[in-house]
Amino acid sequence: MSIDWETIRQEEFPSISEKSLIYLISAGASLMSKSAYNEGIRYFDQMRTNGDINHELLFLQVDEIRKSIGEYINADPDEIAFLINTTSGISASAYLFRDHIGEVLYPSIEFPTSIHMFRKLGYPCVRVEDENGAYTIANFASKLTKNSKYSIQSHVQSFNGFRQNLNEYGNFCIENGIKNIINSTQAFGVFEIDVEAYKIDILVANALKWLGCGYGVGIIYIKDDIIQKFGLPFTGWLSVENPFAMDNKNMDIIQKTSAMDSLGGCPNFASLLTLKGAFNLIKEKIGGGDLKKGIRLTQERIISLTSYFLEKLITVPLTIITPQEIQYRSGIITVQHKKAKRIHRYLIKNNVYSTLKRYPDDSNETLIRFAINYYNNYEDLEKTIQIINSCKYL
């Protein structure tokens, strides 16, 4: 059965047609889906009408979401905790290993937050260079030393859209005794992930980018073996057995990643519960009751849209800096032009939203990033190309 993407677009993201938006900034933040929004509103209504009566039900719903994520990434739900963003997950990871400092491999264009706290805590961070925008295993291997202990990289690079082959990368980490930390922010919710098959030790993400849940949700997976060996980096009153006994001497900490939810305090339910709607949309409306199928179909849809866009882009005088091989494909396509700033402004005037970027050591913005989610359609991309072609700055 084929998916009716147009109906999903109309029902879940009505502002696209109401405002004639060509929305290509999902790598910044997606539009919030109606399903996610409804769950957020349900929470506010519940607090307005009943306050804290039945607050246990809120915790139970969070556990249901945890189960969905476990099913999605092939993890035990207890290996998953909720934080507030990706950065908080990275900070937790850096603290987790702080008594075991070692060299950290990272791609040269890696998103800053992935290594920020590792640098701050004094881990030596070793930069890995690219091959035409791709971060090959060979280039990681060339930077290995006897002090290499960790590797951190984005599943999909925010800068140029390169998607790492996590299957091969996981084997490389195992063979070299490297802890494999993946920042999946630019893929989470729309690309397949299997933490067991890909031998991932820690995975962090937020729900803002591709899942369409708005700000305020961070997700962290930490493999159980790691928690058993290194313990939890942050805990609080809700991380212990019998927290409601209110015994302030109780340090009987539950040794599971899930005990680190909200650093051990009360959750930000308003944001968290939007995840319930987001996963329901993927599972029911896209996957016909099968979450993994929903993710696979979403991934295929994004790859099909980006393939189409790349074919059309070849006809315009912009340099594509994204690696184009299908195995590296994500929802992000970045192009370069010396008048990128003017072209970007022209696109906004025509209701096409993209992201203006620059190389970190360049004072001028020369890059435009197009982020294509499953709710975009071929017409959006066709129109974008037409508008680019009509731009006098090319």
Ligand X SMILES: Cc1ncc(COP(=O)(O)O)c(C=O)c1O
Smallest distance from ligand X to CB 28, Å = 7
Q: Which is nearer to ligand X, 111 or 150 (CB)?
A: 111
Q: Which is nearer to ligand X, 206 or 384 (CB)?
A: 206
Question: Which of 158, 239, 299, 366 contacts ligand X by CB under 6 A?
Answer: 158
Q: Which residue blocks in the chain are alpha helix, DSSP H? A: 5-12, 15-18, 34-50, 55-73, 86-96, 113-120, 137-141, 166-175, 224-230, 269-272, 274-280, 291-313, 340-349, 378-389
Q: Which is nearer to ligand X, 151 or 158 (CB)?
A: 158
Smallest distance from ligand X to CB 68, Å = 20
Assess 85 for contact with ligand X (CB under 6 A): yes
Report angle CA 88, 327, 278 to the nearest 5 degrees.
Answer: 45
**Residue 1, burial from CB neighbour count under 10 angstroms (0-12, 13-18, 19+):** exposed
Assess 322 for contact with ligand X (CB under 6 A): no
For 33, which DSSP code?
A: P
Taking CB under 6 A as the binding criterion, the range among 70-78, 144-152, 179-187, 274-282 that sits at the site for ligand X is 179-187
Smallest distance from ligand X to CB 185, Å = 4
**Residues 26-45 vs ligand X: string with x where CB under 6 A?**
--------------------
Question: Which of 13, 23, 72, 111 contacts ligand X by CB under 6 A?
Answer: 111
- Give the separation between CA 39 and CA 278, rounded to whole angstroms: 9
Q: Which is nearer to ligand X, 185 or 306 (CB)?
A: 185
| Among the listed residues 95, 40, 69, 64, the one whose alpha carbon sits nearest the alpha carbon of residue 219 | 69
Smallest distance from ligand X to CB 50, Å = 31
Taking CB under 6 A as the binding criterion, the range among 85-93, 276-284, 304-312, 369-377 that sits at the site for ligand X is 85-93
Assess 86 for contact with ligand X (CB under 6 A): yes
- Give the separation between CA 206 and CA 213, rounded to whole angstroms: 9
Helix, strand, coil distribution of the chain in percent, nearest 5: 45, 15, 40
Token pair for 374: 């499953």
Alpha-carbon separation of residue 20 from 10, 13, 14, 153 (angstroms) = 12, 12, 10, 36
Residues 199-218 that bind ligand X (CB under 6 A): 206
**Residues 44-83 vs ligand X: string with x where CB under 6 A?**
----------------------------------------
With the C-alpha atoms ordered 81, 82, 84, 87, is the resulting torsion angle positive or negative?
Answer: positive
Which is it for strands 367-371 and 332-336: parallel, antiparallel or unpaired?
A: antiparallel
Smallest distance from ligand X to CB 87, Å = 3
With the C-alpha atoms ordered 276, 278, 281, 283, is the resulting torsion angle positive or negative?
Answer: negative
Q: Which is nearer to ligand X, 216 or 287 (CB)?
A: 216
Assess 151 for contact with ligand X (CB under 6 A): no
Q: Which residue's entry shows tokens 């971060």?
A: 135
Query: Could you tell me if 192 and 118 are in contact, meaning their C-beta atoms sit under 8 angstroms apart?
Result: no
Q: Which is nearer to ligand X, 111 or 169 (CB)?
A: 111
Taking CB under 6 A as the binding criterion, the range among 9-17, 58-66, 170-178, 183-191 that sits at the site for ligand X is 183-191
Taking CB under 6 A as the binding criterion, the range among 30-38, 66-74, 84-92, 192-200 that sits at the site for ligand X is 84-92
| Among the listed residues 153, 131, 129, 154, the one whose alpha carbon sits nearest the alpha carbon of residue 143 | 129
Question: Which of 61, 185, 299, 377 contacts ligand X by CB under 6 A?
Answer: 185
Assess 221 for contact with ligand X (CB under 6 A): no
Q: Which is nearer to ligand X, 111 or 269 (CB)?
A: 111
Question: Which of 46, 113, 258, 298 contacts ligand X by CB under 6 A?
Answer: 113
What SS3 state is found at 27? coil
Q: Which residues here bind ligand X, judged by CB under 6 A?
A: 85-87, 111, 113, 154, 158, 183, 185-186, 206
